[in-house]
Structure formats: structure tokens, C-alpha cells
């Protein structure tokens, strides 16, 4: 395994997570380097989403250590993760269906709003200036994701591929340092996948976000990611460059079944 270049942004050491008797993750260690696109793959039920939930503080592992930005943390809540620059999207889109695209993205700015509710309700003076600033950030994201035409559309009325894009937009509005994407291309057609891949690469390169993504489309994973970690039944079975992982015997076995 190649040592990651650059600084480590987040490291997971010997993490074990179980629900009652079911062990979702057992003794997994890996790290994410600053500025990379890190893929987490594995067959269904391998513990990928659980892993993301551990990283952003939704689940608390029974054992193991998580170090983010050089600081080891114990029981962190999701909102603290958000405040620390970790944003995510979900496997099943989790947007406010009745709100417009723009409003949904604006909610991503919530943590960055400094004025209290009274100022905001008055929509006056400094609160107004602040809102204008946030709106501009959101508009840049709208431009970036090419969703101008649905700016005012309630997201519930949008096709699935666009909802995924809006969700990415909301995560970007947090200006995250670490972006967790849970199956960003699930259920998309080829063209939508190509668009989404482009947005992910550009988010990484132009916006400087480190990205951890779960994805089933191996072609996409191999093209996009710098390093890949492979889970199977809650255990790590491989970790390395896409080409190394692709040739790894254990990985092939996990996906295709063992050859006898």
C-alpha cells in the first residue's frame, strides 16, 4: 500500500461498531489524506454507509479512535461534525421536498449565519448584508452545478438525478473540508453519471474539498478516486490505488465469489 502523500485529514483506527449482536464494522483502519478523492467500496451490507455514519458522528463506535484535523475525538454529534467542516449527502435523497432548490441549498449556509433570529426576521441592516453574501455563495453553487433553470422549483417536483445534484449543492454550501458522498450516482443514467462525475472532480480540484465517496459503479470509482478502500462483511480487505485494488485477489473474490 502506498503511503498517502500530504497530510492526513482524517484517520480511522481499529474501529468496531456493532448493533446488539450484529457486527457492522470490525477493526477497520484507514485514513483520508487532504485533497484526495477516497472511495469506499464493497458488496451490499459491507458496512460502507455505517462507516460514513461513524465518520460524521451519527454512530458512535464501541472501539477505536477517529482523528480529524489532528484532534482525536470521542463522542461527536453530527452537528459538531458539520461545524467542523464535514458535509454529506445521503444514499436516499434527504432534502426538504416542499422547499425550492435555492432554499434547500441556502439551508446549507445555516451554520455560517451569525446574526440571530431577530435580526434575520427583520431582514434589515447587517442581517440583510449577511443574507446577500450567503445568497451569492448559493448562486455560485447553482451556476457551478448548472441548475439555474430549477432555482425556484420545489425539489419534490424534480427528477431524481436533479435532486441528487441539489443535495450535492446543499453540501457544498457548507464549504466543507471533507465531503462524504453516499452513492452519488445511484439510479442515474449514463449522461447524469458523467455530469455528476464532472461535478465531483471539479469540487475536488477547484473547490479544494477532500472527498470520501461510496459508489457501486466500479468504472466511476476507478476513474475518479485517488485511493480505494474495500470493505467486506465489516472488515477491510484491501486498501490502495485503484489499479492495485482492481487486481487484488480478495476483492475479486468478495465481488464475484470464491473460485474453487
Partner 1 sequence: MSAAGAAIGVNDTFAKLLRAHAAGRGDRPAFRHKDLGIWRTWTWRDVYAETRALAKGLIELGLDRGDTLAIVGANRPRLYWSMTAAQMLGAIPVPVYADSVADELAAVLEHSEASIVVTQDQEQVDKVLSVRDRLPALRAILYDEKRGLDDYREPDLLPLESLMAKGRASLDNSAAAADLDSRIDAVRGADPSVILYTSGTTGRSKGVVLSGERSIAAARDTVAFDKLSDRDVALAYLPLAWVGDHYLNYAQGYVAGFCIACPESADTAANDLREIGPTYHFAPPRVFEALLTRLQIRIEDAGAFKRWLYRRCMDVARRWGEKIANGEPVPIGGRLAYGLAELLIYGPLKNALGFSHIRVAYTAGEAIGADLFAFYRSIGLNLKQLYGQTEAFLFVTAQTDRAVRSDAVGPPAPNVDLRITPDGEVQFKSPGMFVGYFRDDAKTREALTEDGYVKTGDAGFFEPDGQLKIVDRAQDVGRLRSGQLFAPKYVENKLKFFPEIREAVAVGDGREFVAAMINIEFASVGDWAARHNVSYASYQELAANPRVYELIKRRVDEVNRALSLEPMMAGAQIRRFLILPKELDADDGEVTRTQKVRRKFVAERYAPLIKGLYDGAVEASIATEITYEDGRKGKLEGTCRIVDMPSFPGELRASAA
223 is a site residue for partner 1 (CB under 8 A): no
Nearer to partner 1, 151 or 235 (CB): 151
Binders of partner 1 among residues 37 to 66 (CB under 8 A) are: none
CB of 149 to partner 1, least distance (A): 4
- Output 27 or 103, the one with its CB closest to partner 1: 103
Reported as type and span, the H/E element at residue 112 is none
CA distance 213 to 235: 17
Residues in the chain: 260
Angstrom CA distances, 240 to 12, 31, 95, 100, 176, stand at 15, 11, 34, 41, 24
The interface with partner 1 within residues 103-162 (CB under 8 A) comprises 135-136, 139-140, 142-143, 146, 148-149, 151-152
Q: Among 22, 117, 190, 206, which residue interacts with partner 1 (rule: CB under 8 A)?
A: 206
Give the E-state strand segments of 20-163 in sequence order.
Answer: 22-33, 37-41, 63-68, 71-73, 86-89
Question: Which strands form 235-240's sheet, in the order they lie side by side?
Answer: 86-89, 178-182, 210-214, 37-41, 227-232, 235-240
Residue 39 exposed, middle or buried by CB count within 10 Å (0-12, 13-18, 19+) = buried
Nearer to partner 1, 95 or 142 (CB): 142
CB of 162 to partner 1, least distance (A): 12
DSSP code, position 148: G
CB of 201 to partner 1, least distance (A): 10
Least distance (Å) between residue 128 CB and partner 1: 15
For partner 1 (CB under 8 A), the number of binding residues is 14
Residues in contact with partner 1 by the rule CB under 8 A: 102, 135-136, 139-140, 142-143, 146, 148-149, 151-152, 202, 206
Amino acid at each position: 500500500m502506498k503511503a498517502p502523500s500530504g497530510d492526513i485529514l482524517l484517520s480511522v483506527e481499529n474501529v468496531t461498531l456493532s448493533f446488539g449482536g450484529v457486527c457492522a464494522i470490525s477493526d477497520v483502519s484507514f485514513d483520508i489524506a487532504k485533497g484526495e478523492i477516497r472511495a469506499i467500496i464493497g458488496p451490499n451490507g459491507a458496512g460502507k454507509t455505517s462507516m460514513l455514519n461513524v465518520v460524521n458522528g451519527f454512530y458512535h463506535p464501541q472501539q477505536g479512535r477517529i482523528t480529524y484535523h489532528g484532534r482525536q475525538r470521542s463522542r461527536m454529534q453530527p452537528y459538531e461534525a458539520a461545524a467542523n467542516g464535514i458535509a454529506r449527502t445521503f444514499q436516499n435523497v434527504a432534502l426538504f421536498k416542499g422547499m425550492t432548490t435555492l432554499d434547500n441549498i441556502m439551508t446549507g449556509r445555516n451554520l455560517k449565519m451569525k446574526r440571530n433570529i431577530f435580526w434575520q426576521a427583520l431582514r434589515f441592516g447587517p442581517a440583510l448584508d449577511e443574507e446577500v453574501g450567503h445568497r451569492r455563495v448559493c448562486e455560485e453553487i447553482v451556476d457551478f452545478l448548472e441548475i439555474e433553470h430549477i432555482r425556484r422549483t420545489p425539489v419534490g417536483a424534480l427528477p431524481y438525478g436533479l435532486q441528487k445534484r441539489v443535495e450535492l449543492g446543499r453540501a457544498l454550501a457548507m464549504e466543507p473540508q471533507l465531503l462524504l458522498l453516499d452513492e452519488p450516482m445511484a439510479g442515474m443514467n449514463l449522461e447524469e453519471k458523467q455530469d455528476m462525475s464532472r461535478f465531483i472532480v471539479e469540487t475536488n480540484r477547484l473547490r479544494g474539498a477532500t472527498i470520501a465517496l461510496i459508489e457501486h459503479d466500479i468504472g466511476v470509482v476507478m476513474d475518479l478516486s485517488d485511493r480505494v478502500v474495500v470493505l467486506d462483511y465489516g472488515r477491510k480487505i484491501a486498501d490502495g490505488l485503484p489499479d492495485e485494488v482492481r487486481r487484488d485477489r480478495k476483492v475479486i473474490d468478495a465481488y464475484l465469489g470464491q473460485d474453487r
